[in-house]
Amino acid sequence: MSEGSGGEGAADTKLSDQAAATRGSRDGLARLNVLAAIRHGDILGSILLTVAVMAIIVVAFGGNPWTVAKTIINNSLAEEIFLGQTIMTAAILILTGLAAAIPFTARLWNIGGEGQMFAGAVVAVTLGIMLPEGTAHGLFVLILIVGAAAGGALWGSVPGVLKAYFGINEIVTSLMLNFLAFFAANYVVTVAWPEIYAQLQSQEIHDNAHFPDFWASAKVDISVFIALAAALAAWVLITRTSLGFSIRSVGANPRAARLAGVRTRLVTVSSFLTAGAAGGLAGAVTVGGIHHDLALDLWISNYGYVGIAVALLARLNPIAVLPAAFIFSTLRVGSNSLQAAAGISSSFGEVLIATFVIMLMVTGAIRFRYAQH
C-alpha cells in the first residue's frame, strides 16, 4: 500500500513539475513578448509623452498647441528656403550625431562633439583664408574638407588616448576639450583673422573654398552629400569591418571582449578618432557650406550636444541617424518664428528636444527594469 502511495506521489510530483515548467515557459514567453513590445514602442512612447507634456506647457502659458505645431511645420518644410535651412541644419546634426553614436556603440561616452566641430571649423577657416586664392575650386574644397576632418580627428583622439592608456574618464576630458576648442576659435576670430566690419566673427574664406551649390534657390550645397557619405561610411565601419565587430563586442561586454583577445585600447582610440573626424566634418560644413566664416555664436547653437540626442533617438544606428537628425532639425528651424506667430519663445524647439531625451531615458529605464525581472 505504501509503495502504491509512493508511486502515485512521485507521479503527482512529476505532473506538477511539468505543469510548473509549462507555466514558466509561458510566463517567460509572455515576458519576452512584452519586453519586445516595450523595446519597439519606447521611441513612440517617448514621442507621445513629449507631445503631451509640451501641449500642457503651451496651454499653461496661454498658447495653442495646434498653432505651435502648424508654425513649426510651416517654418521648416512649407517653403523652399525654410526646407533648405532644415536640410543644411540636418547635415550638421547627422555629423555630430555620428560623433556620438560611434563611440557610444563601444560604451565610450563622447561629450566632445561640440569641441571636435569647433576644431574642424578652426582648421577649415584657417585653410580657407591662408591658401592661395587662385587654388582650383575642387581642390580647395577637398583640402578644406580633409583638413577639417583631420583636425577634428586629432582633437577627438585626445580623450581616446587618455582613456585607453591612462584610464582617465572620457566624459570629463571630452567635455573640457569643448572649452579649449572654443578658446582656439576665439583666438582665430579676435586675433588671427578678425573681421573688422563685424564683431565676433572671422574674415570670410576665399570664394574658391565655398562648397558648390546643389540646390541653389534653397541654399543647399554639397554638405548634404558629405553627411550622407559619412553616415554610410560609419554604417559600413560598424557592421561590415573587423574594427566594427570589435567596437560592438566591447560595447556588448567589455570584459568578455578583452578576454576574447579584442584590443580594447585600439577600439577606444579608433572610436574617438572616427568620432572626431565626423565632428570635424560638421565644422567644415559650417564654414565651407553655411557661413563661409567662423562666428563665435556657433557656440550657442549646441550642435554637438544635440548630436547626442540624435544618436540616442537613432539607437546608435548610423543610418537611423539620418531621419533622427532631420526630425530635430525640423524642430529647431521651425521654432525660430514661434515668438511672433504663437507668443511662445523661439527656444521652444530646444525644450522639445530636451523633453524628448528625458522621456526616451524614462521609457528605456522602464524597459531595463522589466528585463531585470
Q: What is the DSSP string of 47-58?
A: HHHHHHHHHHHH
In this prediction, residue 128 carries a pLDDT of: 97
What residues are paired with 215 via a beta bridge?
Answer: 220
Grid cell 532631420 in the structure block, residue: 326
Q: How far is CA 92 from CA 10, 74, 85, 148, 276, in A?
A: 70, 21, 11, 13, 14
Asked which of 45-54, 151-160, 211-220, 261-270 is least confident by mean pLDDT, the reply is: 45-54
Neighbours of 24 (CB within 10 A): 10
In this prediction, residue 23 carries a pLDDT of: 47
- In one letter, which amino acid is 85? Q
The torsion angles phi and psi of 343, rounded to 5 degrees, stand at 70, 20
What mean pLDDT is predicted for residues 249-269? 93
Q: Which domains does the chain have, with CATH numbers?
A: 64-343 (1.10.3470)
Q: What is the pLDDT of residues 62-117, one digit of tens each?
A: 778 888 888 889 889 989 999 999 999 999 999 999 999 999 999 999 999 999 99
Question: Between 129 and 61, where is the model more confident?
Answer: 129
Task: Say how far apart CA 154 and CA 131 lie, in whole Å.
Answer: 21
What is the pLDDT of the chain when averaged over all its residues?
A: 86
